[in-house]
Amino acid sequence: MSDFDSKTYEEYLIYIHGISPEYNKCHREAYDYLHQGISGCISQEVGEWHNAKRCDVEWGWDYECEGKEAKGHRLLAEAQEKLAARLFPKIEEAKDFSINPARLIIRGVRELMLKGFSDMFYYVCEDGQNSVRLEVLSKILEAKDIQTCLVEEQPFSITLLGHSAGSVIAFDLLLYLFGKEEDDESHKKTNFINFKAPSVESVLNRLDMSHENLLKLENNMGKFWTMAQHEKIRIRRLVTFGSPISQLVFRSDKFLEIFANDGGLNASELGLDRNPEIFGTPLEGPRWINLWDKDDFIAWPVKPLVREQDANLVADIYTNVSCSILKAHNRYWNSHIVHGKIAEHW
């Protein structure tokens, strides 16, 4: 009997995007490119992948378009476009003589910096952090099958696949789920989101979320965290590509202290070393797969972030997805090299 036939848990593939110049609204096409590409590289006998449930997260743009006023994170893509349309003509108005060859690509670099970094700037501010986390967690916890698992406390396994700022969101979610318990357990269960923040209030209004549904979300968050802490949720793989995580560790005093003392992150607090008995045969190989390209200046290696004793749990895979610094950041989605490497390590 195969592992899949005998298992008693579901596999979930959760895709989380960033906001970038090429894909700054619907990511369904990008998700499909990646998912289908990986599927084509994985044998049909690997039922865990081919039968896995898929959860596509959308954020940063007004994807419902129901005629209501967009608020919070759903304004991000639109704000990027409209501000860029006002900024770049002003830059072009400035005339001077220069033999600097970088001038040939400077406009494209400026556009990539504006549209490639703004999602990260937004996410690390309090408004953005609460607004985006609420949206992402809502999408995950509202998925029908995951809701059933939470209600019935059925174990399940997840793979998070995050691009750009989406990789940072995935990283933060794992820290929330698998980080060390605090003295105030009830606070830890829901501290991923500050429900009293104005940014959360605006998103709740936009979603017409009733007080009853808000309580349900908080309750599901508590169950999600509790199941992770009690080894009923396994992180099969964390897959990141075009990821700025190595830059963004400086946003936390805890991380500053670790790296100032020449230390590293404990992989256990991301769930990367955990193999709960209920999931059967322990997973082998790296659990965090990070794909990056030198020409993508937003992407960084991540293995130096973790402790030396955890280095075997992380794989930095160099992938030459493009020779253009203007295009590399968005070329992971439909890269056959990327598809093959993820399939190889999944």
Residues 267-306 have pLDDT tens digits of: 999 999 999 999 999 999 999 999 999 999 899 999 999 9
Q: Mapped to the 3 state alphabet, what secondary structure does 331-345 carry? A: CCCCCHHHHHHHHHH
Is residue 47 within 8 A of residue 53, CB to CB? The reply is no
Res 326: pLDDT: 82
pLDDT band for position 22 (cuts 50, 70, 90): low
Q: Which residue has the higher pLDDT, 268 or 19?
A: 268
Res 1: pLDDT: 34
Neighbour tally for 33: CB within 10 Å: 17
Single-letter residue type at 321: V
Mean pLDDT of the region 53-72? 76
The ranges assigned to domains in the chain are: 3-345
Instruction: Name which CATH class applies to 3-345.
Output: alpha beta
Q: Give the three-state DSSP class for 157.
A: strand
Q: Which residues of 262-275 are buried (b: 16+ CB within 10 A; e: fewer)?
A: eebbbbeebbbbbe
Q: Give the three-state DSSP class for 210.
A: coil
Distance of CA 218 to the CA centre of its chain: 21
115-118: long-range contacts, CB 8 A cutoff, minimum separation 24: 115/19, 115/20, 115/21, 115/24, 115/80, 115/84, 116/18, 116/20, 116/21, 116/164, 116/298, 116/329, 117/298, 118/19, 118/76, 118/79, 118/80
Q: Give the three-state DSSP class for 291.
A: strand
Is residue 291 within 8 A of residue 237, CB to CB? The reply is no
Mean pLDDT of the region 89-111? 78
- How far is residue 168's CA from residue 123's CA, in Å, rounded to a whole number? 9
- How far is residue 29's CA from residue 22's CA, in Å, rounded to a whole number? 12
Where do we find the tokens 């808000």?
214
